[in-house]
Amino acid sequence: MPEIHPFKRLRTWTLRAAADQGQIIRVSCNLCRITHNYLPDDLEKLSGNLQLDRLLTKFKCDRCGKRDYLQMKLHFPHGSEYGSLKIRRLKDIRTVTVPVWLDDVLR
Ligand SMILES: [Zn+2]
């Protein structure tokens, strides 16, 4: 059976599908050498049920602030990882108010 290219697999796979399969989304910055594990459920609350090939554009590295070195993988947790694998959980979603100014004349 031919090997399916990982990118094609991600394109047909969604956050909901990953959540249903018990998969973890693992995002690494190759510059800072940091990896965080996310639950697909948490990411779906933020961005909706995205296809996984579009998900990485939503991330930015906490440390270097760049997107260029980010890499995403799907991870199937092993039984021994339950209770020990570090997960970055969604604690809260804050809505920020941003002023939009328009320069006008006195009327
Ligand atoms: Zn980084």
Task: Compare 2 and 82 and report the one with higher pLDDT.
Answer: 82
Number of domains making up the chain:
1
**Residues 37, 52, 62, 83: what is their CA dihedral angle, to the nearest 10 degrees?**
-10
**Residue at 69 is within a domain:** yes
Please give the pLDDT value at position 10.
76
**Residue at 76 is within a domain:** yes
**Residue at 30 is within a domain:** yes
Domain boundaries, position 64: 6-81
Dihedrals phi, psi of 103, to nearest 5 degrees: -80, 120
Q: What is the pLDDT of residues 5-43, one digit of tens each?
A: 555 577 789 999 999 999 999 999 999 999 999 999 999
Q: What is the pLDDT of residues 53-92, one digit of tens each?
A: 899 999 999 999 999 999 999 999 999 999 999 999 999 9
89: exposed, middle or buried (C-beta count within 10 Å: 0-12, 13-18, 19+)? exposed
Residue 22 CA to ligand 1 centre (angstroms) = 27
CA–centroid distance for 79 within its chain? 23
Please give the pLDDT value at position 5.
53
**Residue at 37 is within a domain:** yes
Question: pTM for the whole thing?
Answer: 0.81
Residue 33 CA to ligand 1 centre (angstroms) = 7
Q: What one-letter code names the amino acid at 40?
A: P
Residue 71 CA to ligand 1 centre (angstroms) = 11
**Residue at 91 is within a domain:** no
Please give the pLDDT value at position 1.
44
What is the chain's Cα-based Rg? 18
